[in-house]
Structures are given as structure tokens and as C-alpha cells.
Amino acid sequence: MNFAPHLERLRLLRPVRGRLAAALLCMGAGVLIQLGFPRAIAWLIDHAEQLRQTGIPPHLVLAMLGAAILLALVSALRFYLFQSASQHIVTRLRRQLFDILIRQPIGFFDRHHVGELTSRLHGDVMSLHESLTVGAAHVLRSLCVFGGGAAMLLSLSPLLSLPLALFIPASLYLGKRSGNSYRERAREVQASLADSGKVAQEHFANVRLVHAFNQQRGASARYESATARALAAALSNARLLSTFQGLMSLLLYLALISTLCFGAWLIGQGRLSVGELTAFIIYATMVTEAANALTDFWGSWMRTLGATDRVFELLRLAPRDEGGAQPPSLSGRIVFENVGFRYPQRPAQAALEGVNLALAAGETVALVGPSGAGKSTIANLLLGHYAPGQGRILFDGFDAATLAPAALRRHVAVVEQEPALFSGSIADNIRFAVPEREVTQDEVEAAARRAQAHDFILAFPDGYDTVVGERGVQLSGGQKQRIAIARAMLRDPAILILDEATSALDAASETLVQAGLDQLMQGRTTIVIAHRLSTIVSADRILVLAGGRIRQQGSHAELLREKDGPYAELMRHQLAQYGRLDAPLAAA
Ligand code: ATP
């Protein structure tokens, strides 16, 4: 038997060991009191005649009452201590898992769906709650009751204990057999729950698209089929469990009936009193219940083991090595030396090949080219989301591979195509750019002013404290972009990556966004994934990419001179389609 998975989970108990020790004390006290009761009952029955004449002695009544109150107290305390220990463990585990996941390289998120990860974080971790402490408490209590009860049974009548001696090993054996099959099925249930989480998350996140294409029914059908597998696995587990329960109940009653018959015969022989048989039956019930609890626990423990297998696999993921040198400060010079790259998920296709490029500090470069040309891949490599497969990228002469990614990213800021805002205030969203230190309100406002966002923010009744995101104010595309610009402004990076929005804003909004961007780009090396001709034309240099290679580079005027070049082709296409320069650039 492999003990590692058991030990791995039991180690989670370490931080709450004080609480657990106190809970165990309460439990021990409770079991002792409980074990005393049947003896008291036996005494009362066998002395019924005598008590009828003298009455029950008051000290006995008081002692029993005191025991009942003490039992209630220790039970309540035990329950609270075990429950709270379990909640602490689950929360701590969730935090630990989130910590590890959020630090994974971007490639990890290409392989794992967010819905699946959320389901692991919540559902899978929760399954530990029941079995790890509440279940473990139950099992310890059952062990004590089992041991104490068995001792009482033997002291009352070793002969009468024989039927139970047959029943208990049989029930423990059955429990172990079924526990092993639970584990596999639980893993399957959890995997299919994660799958259905993925489907739900995807459809909720894209609910507008679902409605726009009248796909509500399709969405429900997809969710239904995703949940069908979880249902089938859970039902098969339930079938196994019910067969097991049925068999256990049969064995239990056979054992009790034979004990009763045998006990009645012993009373007839004068070898046992009625009180003793009553106490024996009560102890026998306690012992069989405890044995049942032990086998039940084994089943639920194995289910938990299966359900949390994936969680522990994720916990074992090495946190990303954030080692590397800290560049002193960067001026923004960037060199690509024969850079080649393939996404880990698509090793057969080169996303970039033989890219050579040298950007001077402060230069603005527009990346253009058809969809899939490799523009975003260049941005991804600059941000250190992936490392180049061939060649190297140098920042101010430092090889990116030798620099700490976090230190490098401190000098880079991104303004995304569809800026993402977190639920929180506008000020929090701008402050998001600088995690290393406290940012003052003045700094936030100064950044917003330069990003042309200050006025519209103040127009909200709550100003900078306006809550945005899912449960807050919905901002227009242009407003979101200006907040993203303010965010980048606050970061004050040497290198700026702009992913221009493809959708056109209205003229007024466009002017404001452009003014914000102009401010932001001043004095920084800027790489624009350009979709607007006006941006392209005003760039210091244009790189025309296709199929992961640089096909042409130069200024607008230089590139146009090559009449049959890809750039001239792109321009002809643009003018033919829109007849103007400021329209979004059509994908060629
Ligand atoms: P677009 O203008 O459509 O955004 P792009 O020029 O930015 O295109 P990239 O996103 O750089 O193109 O993509 C280059 C190639 O890499 C494409 O073939 C694309 O399918 C592939 N690719 C992009 N991202 C990934 C990823 N995360 N995993 C696997 N392949 C990817």
C-alpha cells in the first residue's frame, strides 16, 4: 500500500494541531461518559426491585444529570473545534493553491481552462473539509468507542461476544474493498465537474454572444452533456454505496439477532442477568455502529483522496523560478537576434522565425501584417510570457534569459486591445500598475489627467471611487482605454506595448484616446500592434510581418516605394476598402 497520498493530506493538519489536540481531549471525555451509561442502565435494571422500595438515591440522579450536561458541553466544544480546524485547513489550502496557480507561466493557462481551475480551487478543495477533520474526528471517536465497547462486552460475557467477533471483521473487510473503488470514481466525478465548470464559465463569460446568436438552448445542451458524465459516475458510486449499505445492514441484524437469542439462552441458564443482557445489547450496538463508522470513513476518505488527486498534482507544480539578474534601469533599447518561437501547444508551427530587429530607445515601431502573422507573439516574448526557442532578446544589451522576469516587466507596460478592468474602484484599477509601493491619490490623478481620463472620471458622482466591473458602472470602450492608458502612465515604463483596438471609436472619443496615447508614448520605446493607418503612418518604423517573419521594414514613405511589396499591397487593400486613412486597417 502506498502511504504517500494519505500522509500528504494528513500533513495539512499540522498547522491546526493545537485545536485538534483540544478537540481530541473533549472527544475522549465524551466517549468515557458515553461508555458509562449502559453500565448505569444495567445496574438500574438489576436493582429495580430494591430501588422500588428505597427510591433512586439523589446523588445517583445528580451524577447522571451532571454527566449528561458535561457530555453536552464537550460534544459542542468538540464539534466546534473540529469544524473550525477543517475550515482553516480548507481556506489555507485554497490560498496556497491560488498562490501557486497565479504564479504559473502563461503557457500553463494555455493548457488549463480557467473554469476548470476555479472548480479545482472550490469544489475539489471543499471535499477535504468533510473527511479531513470532521470525518477524522468521527473515526477517532469510533475507534475509542470501538475499543472501550469491546472491552465492556468481553467483561460482561466473552461467550456472548462471539457473533460480533464474526460480524466486525467481515464489515471491515467489505468497507476496505468498496473504499478502493470509490477513489477511482471520485476522481472521475471531480474531473467531469471541472469540465462542466469550464462549460458554464465559458458561456457566462460570453453571455452576450450566446444571446446574440440565440444559443441559450445550445448552451444548456452543452452543459447538460457536460454534467451527464459527472452524474453517471456519481450514480455508479451511489449504487456501490447502496449495495454496501444493504450488505452491512444484513450482517448487523444477523449479528444482533444471534446475540439476542444466545443471550436469552444464557439468562435461562442463569449465567447472565437481564440488566447485563440489556447493557450488552447497548454496547453491541455502540461497537457495531463504530465499526460501521470506520468503514464509512474509509469509503469517504478514499473518495476524498480521488477528488483531491488533481489538487495535489497542482500543488506540486514548481513555482516559477523568478531568479535572474535585476537590470539597473533600462533606457528601452531592444534587440531581437535571430529569434524563433513555437507555442508549446502547437510545436509543429513556427509562430516566429529568424526575427532580427534592433530598436533604439524612444523609437516607435508599428507591427503590421495579416492575422496570425506573429504580431502578438512578439509582444508576448517582450513581456517574458514565453521564452524564445531560438536566438535571444536583449534589453539594453542584457540577455532577457538572464534577467528576472519580474524585474524586466517593471520596465514594460501594456495597453491591451480590450482593456480589462477588475471589479473595484477606478483609482484601484489605475493603481494596479504599481504593486511595489503605495501610490498616492495625487499620482493617480496626475496619470489620469495625462491620459485624458480625469474629466470623465470626475463626472461620476463617486469620482475616483466609482466602482467599475461586473457589479459596478459599465464604461464605454474609449473610457476603458483611457483608464488603461492612465494605468500604463503611472507605471512610467521605458518600453510600451500597445495593442490597438480594432473597433473604431466615435471621432470625439478617438481624439481623446489618441491624445492620451501621444502623451503616454513620449520618450518611450513603443511597439504598437497597429490597426489604424494613422498610427502606422506616424510610426518611426513599420515592420511588416507575415508567417512569423519580417517581410519588410522602414518608414511609410520608404515602404511605399517598393510598389510590389507586401506593404504597398496592404495599403492598396486598405484604400480600396475604406477610401480613407484613419479607418481600422483591414486584415489583408
Ligand atoms: P492577430 O492580428 O490576428 O492578433 P497576430 O499577428 O497577433 O494575429 P499571433 O497571435 O502572434 O498573430 O499568432 C501567431 C501564430 O501563433 C498564429 O498561427 C496563432 O494561431 C499561433 N498562436 C497564437 N497564440 C497561441 C497560443 N497561445 N497557443 C498556440 N498557438 C498560438
Q: From the centroid of its chain, how far is CA 295?
A: 31
> What is the DSSP pairing of strand 541-546 with strand 467-468?
unpaired
Which fold would CATH assign to domain 334-578?
Answer: Rossmann fold (3.40.50)
- Domain extents in the chain: 4-315, 334-578
Instruction: Confirm or reject: Cβ of 503 under 6 Å from ligand 1.
Output: no
The pLDDT assigned to 422 comes to 82
Closest by Cα among 416, 430, 438, 413 to 493 = 413
Sequence letter at residue 517: L
In a structure prediction context, what are the per-residue pLDDT tens digits for the chain, which is 588 residues long?
677 888 878 888 888 889 888 988 998 898 888 888 888 888 888 888 888 888 878 888 898 899 999 999 999 998 898 888 888 888 888 888 888 888 888 888 888 877 778 878 887 888 777 777 667 777 888 888 888 888 888 888 888 888 788 877 887 787 777 777 777 777 788 788 888 888 888 888 888 788 888 888 888 998 998 888 888 888 888 888 788 878 878 887 888 888 888 888 988 988 888 888 888 888 888 888 888 788 778 877 887 887 788 888 888 886 655 666 777 788 889 999 999 999 988 888 889 998 999 999 889 999 988 888 889 999 999 988 888 989 999 998 888 888 888 888 888 988 888 888 887 889 988 988 888 888 889 989 988 888 888 888 999 888 999 888 765 567 888 888 888 889 988 888 899 998 876 666 677 777 777 888 888 888 889 999 988 777 888 889 999 988 889 988 888 888 888 888 888 888 887 777 655 544 555 443
Residue 434 pLDDT:
85
Say if ligand 1 is within 6 A of residue 527 CB.
no
What's the pLDDT score for residue 250? 86
Residue 42 has which C-alpha cell? 444495567
- Check pocket membership of 375 for ligand 1, CB cut-off 6 A: yes
Where does 4-315 sit in CATH, by number?
1.20.1560.10
> Which is the closest atom of ligand 1 to the Cα of 374?
11
Q: Could you give the CA distance from residue 544 to residue 570 in angstroms, rounded to a whole number? A: 9
Q: Pocket of ligand 1, candidates 112, 341, 376, 532: which has the most ligand atoms within 8 Å of its Cβ, to mutate? A: 376
Could you tell me if the CB of 345 is within 6 A of ligand 1? yes
**pTM score:** 0.73
Residue 117 and residue 99 in contact, taking contact as beta carbons nearer than 8 Å: no
- pLDDT of res. 208: 78
User: Cα of 378 to ligand 1 centre, how many Å?
Assistant: 10
Position 587 scores a pLDDT of 44
Contacting residues for 551 by C-beta, under 8 A, at least 6 apart: 369, 544, 545, 565, 566
Q: Give Cα separations from 3 to 6, 181, 336, 357 (angstroms).
A: 5, 17, 51, 55
